[in-house]
Amino acid sequence: MQKLIVFNHVSLDGFFTDLSGDMSWAHKQDAEWDAFTEANAASGGVLLFGRVTYDLMASYWPTPAALKQFPLVAKRMNGLPKVVFSRTMSKASWQNTELVKVDIAAAVRKLKQATGPGMVIFGSGTIVSQLTEERLIDAYQIVVDPIILGKGRTLFEGLKEKMPLKLTESRIFGNGNALLTYEPT
């Protein structure tokens, strides 16, 4: 059975995007952080996205700029299998992408039954919230960035019940990012 992991950045005040959907504040480069993201990207798996995050990723990773700036990560992002959940898209054009238009929870349950290295969700707050509610997420890798946004969107908007978690790993980076990994109890 494959595990499903969420990997997302949040501001110190708990937002993963500002009110306009911007996440550029989460992209700070330094050698230590870049090495970590390259190693993390090399772990493989199926990438899961909602439509908005998919559109952002598909507009950047296949570009020459991405290949020049982050060659190893771009190669992995473009080569890995991807699933985009959307009721409004008619097709997914980024290579190795499957479009799922029906019951997200049922699709993820089926994906989890397959053999493989696992699945990762980036961004995609609506998908994270829905799959958290269904208790389908096995781990949350949350990067707390040293910034306060004041307003924005949380990853768990609309969650109806509290979900206790246990901290399983933590790491502080020189750029001020703090990686916290939690699993449901």
- The CATH number for 56's domain is 3.40.430.10
- Decide if 184 is inside a domain: no
For residues 91 and 100, what is the distance between their CA atoms, to the nearest angstrom?
A: 10
- Decide if 43 is inside a domain: yes
Give the structural domain span for 49.
4-178
- Decide if 106 is inside a domain: yes
Tens digit of each residue's pLDDT (9 = 90 or more) over 25-54: 887 778 898 788 777 766 668 999 999 999
- Decide if 89 is inside a domain: yes
- Decide if 55 is inside a domain: yes
- Decide if 171 is inside a domain: yes
Tens digit of each residue's pLDDT (9 = 90 or more) over 3-27: 999 999 999 999 999 988 888 888 7
> Is the four-CA dihedral 136, 129, 82, 144 of positive or negative sign?
negative
- Decide if 183 is inside a domain: no
Q: What is the mean pLDDT of residues 127-152?
A: 95
